[in-house]
Chains A and B, each alone.
Chain A
Amino acid sequence: MSSQENNEKEIELQLPFEKKRETIPHKDHLYLRVHKVNIDFNVEDQYKKILPVAFDMKGDDGLSVDWSEHSKPEETLSRANKPEQNGILSFNCGDVRKSPFSCEVIHDPIENINYAHSLVCGIPPRKPNGLEFRIQLRQICKWEIQCINK
Chain B
Amino acid sequence: MVNTKNISFEKVPDRKQTVRALPVSDSGSKLFNSISNIGRLKAYDFGNASKLKNNFKVLEHLIGGNAFMSVVDFHDFAKPVVYPSQSQYIDYSETIKSPSYWTFKEDELFTTEDLLAIEISNSEYIFKLGDNWDDNNSIGYTYENWLVAIGFLKNFFKWMSENLKNEIHIPKIYHGPNGSIDIIWEQMDTKIYINIDNNNNLGTFYSYYNDKQKSSGEFELNDFDFKILPLPIKF
Contacts and interface: CB of A to CB of B under 8 A. Distances in A.
Interface stretch (A7-15, A39-47, A68-76, A114-122): A39-47
Given A126-B177, A127-B218, A135 B172 contact: no
B50 interface: no
B205 to A, nearest CB: 8
A80 B186 CA distance: 30
Interface stretch (A17-25, A49-57, A102-110): A49-57
Contact of B39 (A42, A51, A126): A42
Interface stretch (B62-70, B88-96, B99-107, B135-143): B135-143
Nearest to B193: A131
A25 B87 CA distance: 55
Interface string B154-194: 00000000000000000010111100101010100001010
A42 B193 contact: no
B176 A53 contact: yes
B217 interface: yes
A43 B185 CA distance: 12
A44 B177 CA distance: 23
A53 B177 contact: yes
Interface residues of B, number: 32
Interface residues on A, range: 20 to 34
Nearest to B172: A40
Contacts of B176: 52-53, 56, 126
Contact of B135 (A56, A80, A128, A135): A80
Interface string B130-155: 00011111100000000000000000
A126 B135 contact: no
Contacts of B36: 41-42
Contact of B214 (A44, A85, A132): A132
Given A42-B39, A82-B135, A52 B193 contact: yes
Contacts of A80: 135
A127 B204 contact: yes
B193 A51 contact: no
A20 B218 CA distance: 42
Contact of B182 (A51, A128, A132): A51
13 contacts: A37-B133, A38-B134, A52-B174, A56-B176, A58-B136, A81-B135, A81-B136, A127-B197, A127-B202, A128-B218, A132-B216, A135-B191, A135-B206
Given A51-B175, A82-B135, 18 more contacts: A35-B134, A35-B135, A37-B175, A41-B36, A43-B39, A44-B39, A52-B184, A53-B176, A53-B182, A126-B177, A126-B204, A127-B195, A127-B218, A129-B206, A131-B193, A131-B206, A132-B208, A135-B208
